[in-house]
Amino acid sequence: MHASFKALALLAAVASASATSFKLKAHVTANDLSPSVEGQYLNVDASTGYAYLTQPGSGASFTDDNNTINTGATHIHITPGGTATVPSTNVVTFSADAGTPAVDVENGALQYAGGVFVACPASVLEKDGAEVLISYKKAGQRTLYGCADLLLFQDA
């Protein structure tokens, strides 16, 4: 039986080492921004950990393993908040801490707890900078004014 545990450990190591990397591409489903964020890619700010959109063809590489989304050295953090009438200004972040569980790619798009990812100018989310940051709204919450609802699609 000891050998079978070793075999399982080896298979798990091979599976995690061979996780396919991909980029995440924005598809606007409501309230596009000007200029449009359609087709932009998700990136991660090295100093703040904030997830933001960048020009097509660039962006961070991600993997979908251990039931969460990761970069090479960081893990996704989604902090839902707010109410139906007062949405959250929380930003999706990445850090070295263990990531939010149950975030994964289903049917080619990033999914978490039945909610929607949202692209907002940093100022709308009460943050500094000129980036278009990624936030998350729970099912039933309204979209903050000046933000776009998104699907983040897996793109090789």
DSSP classification of residue 12: H
The whole-model pTM stands at 0.86
Per-residue pLDDT reduced to its tens digit, 97-118: 999 999 999 999 999 999 999 9
What phi-psi label fits residue 37: left (phi over 0), alpha (psi between -120 and 50 degrees) or beta? alpha
Domain 20-155: which CATH class? mainly beta
Per-residue pLDDT reduced to its tens digit, 55-91: 998 999 999 987 789 999 999 999 999 888 888 999 9
